[in-house]
Structure 1
Amino acid sequence: MKIYVVRHGADEEGYRGGWSQRGLTETGVNQSKMLGKYLHEHAGQYDIQTIISSDLQRAVQTSKEIEAALNIPGSHTSDWREMNNGELAGMLHAEAEEKYPGIYFNTLEMHTAFPGGESPIHFYTRIKSAFQNLCTQLEAKKMKSNVLLVTHGGVINILYYVLLNQEWSNTSSFYTIHNTSIHTFGKMKDSWSVLDTNREVGK
């Protein structure tokens, strides 16, 4: 039983991310197409039965390219969104600096929320809970395995900390997570573990 976690393709630079609904760049679309092609060509190896993605535009665009390549309809949900940065979402960096000087993900206190958004501890708890719910559904056979999950860098980073049983904060080191890279989590005996990290394809 496996979960393949993928970061969305490259998106527009110069803007705050988080809950931004800005889409992929041409490079990001091409990355997503190449990943879909790779997964189709290696369908026997991955045996993907279910596709889930964040419902933010950059993740949905990535997911739809893979869905088309594998001919599997996807489910797009808010559960797997990036950190909710509230009023800063999709804002130009310069504008954000002017309106909210010094407010970044790693400068917040763990229980302090972005203006109109969520706090780092809420983000961590939300993602840990989403992963636990996904595992429960798979183990109860309420969802077909194997699963491909298209989400965001911050989300995947938290999943590493959860699976490796490491303490996390918004100032913790960030695992290497490239656009459209594959991270493989597997059920080994009675627990989930990391089987493969940051596998880049289509280059």
Structure 2
Amino acid sequence: MTEICLVRHGETLWNRQARLQGSQDIPLSDIGIEQARTAAAHLSKERWDLLYSSDLSRAKHTAECINQRLNVPHYLEPGLRERNYGSLEGMTRDEIEARYPGVLSQPDQHPIPGLETYEALSQRVRETVESIAQRHPGKRILIVTHGGTINAFLHAITGQRAGAIDNTAITRVRYDCGRWLVDCINDCSHLGQ
């Protein structure tokens, strides 16, 4: 049994402004750094064998804050990146709706330059996380990534979307002989929520 804890990165200014980040490399805000430190204190109460993170700076920096407490091997994995939203990146929901009416409710009905399909994201993330689990059987692994990435992974293994994943929220899954078990989704208890 391989245990995996998926952690969403800390807050960025674009999170606060409700801007679609996607593949843009947006740094953590001061609040995001504090969230990462709080998650680190919480996660350091457990034993972890290794840490993977997306190579985008918001996830990488969150992972580095956590690893200051854990001191385990840390690997960057581009397959854990957030969905590429193409020309939608950097816009708010209102700006997206004004420019591409109806795209938020029916994204597959609109040709958006550079948009990674949800199906492609789900497949990429499942293959990446499954590969990590298979390389490290029986280990306890932390993965720091993005909200959309976590949601796409959960959709790939359960067939359902989890809803919003909060900044530094913890989602726990187990991998056993090709089978995924979900233990918790979007745990924010360490943040006092």
TM-score (norm 1): 0.79
Say which of 38, 53, 78 aligns to 1:34: 38
- Percent identity, aligned pairs only, is 28
Q: How does 1:152-191 map to 2 (within 5 A)?
A: 152-164=146-158, 166=159, 173-188=161-176, 191=179
* Rounded Cα–Cα distance in structure 1 between residues aligned with 2:87 and 2:76: 23
* Rounded Cα–Cα distance in structure 2 between residues aligned with 1:119 and 1:89: 14
Cα distance change on mapping 1:23 and 1:113 into 2, 3 Å: farther
Contact 1:32 1:66 in 2 (8 A): yes
The residue matched to 1:109 in structure 2 has which SS? Answer: helix
Q: How does 1:1-203 map to 2 (within 5 A)?
A: 1-12=2-13, 13-40=17-44, 42=45, 46-91=46-91, 100=100, 102-104=102-104, 106-109=105-108, 114-139=112-137, 145-164=139-158, 166=159, 173-188=161-176, 191-200=179-188, 201-203=190-192
* Rounded Cα–Cα distance in structure 2 between residues aligned with 1:120 and 1:199: 24
For 2:107, give the aligned amino acid: L
Cα distance change on mapping 1:96 and 1:189 into 2, 3 Å: closer
The residue matched to 2:108 in structure 1 has which SS? Answer: coil
* Rounded Cα–Cα distance in structure 2 between residues aligned with 1:189 and 1:118: 30
1:49 to partner: Cα distance: 1.0
For structure 2, the residue ranges without an aligned partner over 5 or more in a row are none
Contact 1:113 1:120 in 2 (8 A): no
For 2:106, give the aligned amino acid: T
Contact 1:113 1:119 in 2 (8 A): no
1:97 to partner: Cα distance: 5.6
RMSD: 2.5
1:189 to partner: Cα distance: 6.4
* Rounded Cα–Cα distance in structure 2 between residues aligned with 1:130 and 1:27: 29
List per-residue Cα deviations over 1:30-86 (Å, max 9, x = no partner).
00011112222x1xxx32111111111211121110111212242122100111112
Aligned length: 187
1:2 to partner: Cα distance: 0.3
The residue matched to 1:163 in structure 2 has which SS? Answer: helix
* Rounded Cα–Cα distance in structure 2 between residues aligned with 1:85 and 1:176: 17
The residue matched to 2:53 in structure 1 has which SS? Answer: strand
The residue matched to 1:23 in structure 2 has which SS? Answer: coil
